[in-house]
Chain A
Amino acid sequence: MTVTETVAPPGRGERGRVLAAFLRSRSGVAGAVLLAVVVLAALLAPVLAPYSPGAVHFETPFQLPRTVGFPLGTDDLGRDVLSRILFGARASLQVGLLAVALAVLVGTPLGLAAGWWRAADVVVSRLTDLTLAFPFLIIAVGLAAISGASLAGAAVALGVAQVPTMIRVVRAETLRLREREFVLAARAMDASGPRVLLTHVLPNAASSVIVQATVIMPVAVIGEALLSFLGLGIQPPDPSLGIMLSDAQQYLYRAPWAAVFPGVAIVLICLAFNLVGDALRDALAPGARR
């Protein structure tokens, strides 16, 4: 007796399901819109900005916001706050992306190796534990001091400081996936470790890596502002939100707007990534239907 089963009609598939779940989240959509605005503003900074970020107008320092020609006012040297924020956001995102790329590119392979081979785990996890024993910013400041005060230096410092958390996430995923039956099936075919990791573990761990990347991003953006604020990141006259805050601090009572607007910009960038990251995590969670 054979009862033939009909093949189910093609579903929307995993990608469609995740997208639908993401779009159902109101805060996720708000975050995505905000993120699009932030990214566009940063990309189009040279077009949108009324002035060059370094352009000094000695004749018009401390202009109030909504002054003709200076929508967000000017600072002590008469530089346009709006232009500097646009270019500063651009620098923030550059540092953030570089740091995230570094954390992903270094952390993922190490995490996969630590989750798969016991010998690798002993070395990698002990080093991870050691690094995580120090506060993130202490490590980042220390590394920035070593790698030199520049945009690239800040990115490397922040990225390296985030590698341990990335290793943790990927290692946990690998440990979870290595006992799954499809991995056992591949091992029974005598597939090599790297092969199983690349074809089965990595694709299934990708969603966790993406979510972790959206968590790292705002941390790196704030980290860049902090390093630049301390003089360990981007160097003047290049624009950075952190440098703007640091400059504005000296005349906070006279021109509060010069500190408030860059602060708001930092908040908005981080908020955008956090909202998107949260919604993405919920959408990628298994069984996320509602």
Chain B
Amino acid sequence: MSALLELRGLRVGYADERGAVTEVLHGVDLTVDRGEKVAVVGGSGSGKSTAAAAALGLLPGGGRVTGGQVRYDGEDLTAAGEARWRALRGARIGLVPQDPMSNLNPVHRVGAQIAEALTAHGLARGRAARDRAVELMAEAGIPDPARRSRQYPHEFSGGMRQRVLIAMALAAEPDLLLADEPTSALDVTVQRRILDHLAGLTEARGTAMLLITHDLALAAERADRVVVMHEGRVVETGPAGRILTAPADDYTRRLVAAAPAIGGGTRAAPAPAAPEPVLVVDGLVREFRVRGSRERVRAVDDVSFTVDAGTTTALVGESGSGKTTTARIVLGLDRPTAGTVRVGGTDPFRSSRRERAAVRRAMQPVFQDPYGSLDPTSSVARIVDEPLRVLRVGDAASRRERVTELLDAVALPAATASRRPDELSGGQRQRVAIARALAARPGLVVCDEAVSALDVLVQDQILELLTGLQRDLGVSLLFITHDLAVVGQVAHRVVVLRAGRVAEQGPVDQVVGAPAADYTRELLAAIPGGG
């Protein structure tokens, strides 16, 4: 079989304004044969997206190929001009981009945008293009395509938008489909459906696929061959099954070991014998008014659960399940419409200012985005001791001591104290956020998707840190996530939320091991490599 896409010893560098070139790809070899499905796996900064951009002739800004070749169907495209690339892109190489929210023009009808792809490549025009667009939407699995083709992107859900983008990418019947993290912005159950459908479509047409992803299990499940990249190099390439079971490279081994998987065993400390609840949520309801109508939407609908001292309760759900709203109410950032929250016996919404301060001290958050949760204008020391200053704990000297102690507890060097957040990596920032949460010695830490934005290896370290802290300090965790695989590793109890209601709750072994609700089973089956 002849290679369709071939990167030969590809080197790519980015030039800064002084003309100094920083190389980010150091000789990448990658081939995709006709009809083959290849996945490129790597963490952030591995160069996987740069390699994809180079394969499309779309290197951004000062990026340029400094060595090696990009070949497509035998043709050397390394020095090809924009005109040649335009003829190839779309027509011969289709792209399914990562973010379905920003890749459709909000002011044009969806059908017209797909038709435009056809017109641009001279495949159809006018009426014929519009009819073909409807056909393509039907093939991409969009129900009632004739009507929906006349709708605007905002009338589509994330999954449906991604289907539109797939329809667009396949419009010109390309030989190769390049999918750059096509489902990482979507819920797992939607991800599964989209990928299944994509597999069916490419299978039927004999389209080759280059799948870029950070998820090794997903890559192994969806591709014939997996290419693992790390720091701008290909560290390992091989058949999908072999990479997972017998990784040859050290980095791949670490990736495989760090990837959370169902049935991978728990690392949580055993729960204390006599459980004592630190957080009791009872019959929680939160309604939101819908703009421009009298209707009210229940984002959280009669949710009850408890977190016992020294244990972890996980709140699992997809987008729109009400898990974040619940977390915000628990943290006192929002008020419930009905129901109660009790932290160590006190209801913060029905108590005096002094009692509320005590409750706040007993409970601290760690948020999802390590780039957004730290004030960029403060030093790490000021960020970490802020709870102490707000709650008026100790004096300047004792607070300085506590900061050193906390940085040590989260395995950061003491010198970090004088740094600013923009000088730290994502994992280090999340450690700082955890140190801040622990500063006032809270009994409960609320982790809202605290590891979702991190690379697998860093995620593994942060989970290790959290469970270690629980073991040493006895803190309880309310762990909010969309990822059931992570839940199996850290939680004692699991609460599965769906559309604001509790679908199922119970001890982790029961919920993950022998789920009672259909929805939980669906979630579990959707985890790549799980079902």
Contact = CB atoms under 8 A, between A and B. Distances in A.
Contact of A13 (B357, B360, B420, B428): B420
B204 interface: no
Contacts of B62: 290
Contact of B377 (A24, A185, A189, A203): A203
B461 A7 contact: no
Contacts of A187: 332-333
Contact of A7 (B331, B363, B428): B428
A182 B257 contact: no
A271 interface: no
B364 A181 contact: no
B222 to A, nearest CB: 27
A14 B375 CA distance: 13
Interface in B389-431: 390-391, 411-413, 415-416, 419-420, 422-425, 427-428
B43 interface: no
A203 B375 contact: yes
A226 to B, nearest CB: 38
Contacts of B333: 184, 187-188
Interface in B29-69: 61-62
A125 to B, nearest CB: 18
Contact of A4 (B331, B363, B364, B411): B411
A40 to B, nearest CB: 30
Contacts of A181: 367-369, 372-373
A8 B421 CA distance: 11
A1 interface: yes
B464 interface: yes
A57 interface: no
A185 B365 contact: yes
| Range of interface residues on A (Cβ < 8 Å) | 20 to 34
Given A4-B411, A14-B420, A290 B61 contact: yes
Contacts of A190: 332, 356-357, 360-361, 390-391
A59 interface: no
Interface in A160-197: 180-182, 184-191, 195
Given A2-B461, A186-B386, A190-B356, A14 B422 contact: yes
Contact of B376 (A5, A14, A184, A188): A14
A3 interface: yes
A190 B411 CA distance: 27
Nearest to B18: A24
A209 to B, nearest CB: 13
A188 B364 contact: yes
Nearest to B371: A181
B417 to A, nearest CB: 11
B457 A3 contact: yes
Nearest to B465: A2
B3 to A, nearest CB: 36
B374 interface: yes
A46 B131 CA distance: 79
B375 A8 contact: no
Interface in B475-522: none
A136 B356 CA distance: 47
A2 B51 CA distance: 30
B13 to A, nearest CB: 16
26 contacts: A5-B458, A7-B412, A7-B413, A7-B423, A8-B424, A8-B425, A10-B419, A10-B423, A11-B423, A14-B420, A180-B372, A181-B372, A182-B374, A182-B383, A184-B365, A184-B373, A185-B433, A187-B332, A188-B332, A189-B391, A190-B361, A190-B391, A199-B375, A200-B377, A204-B375, A290-B61
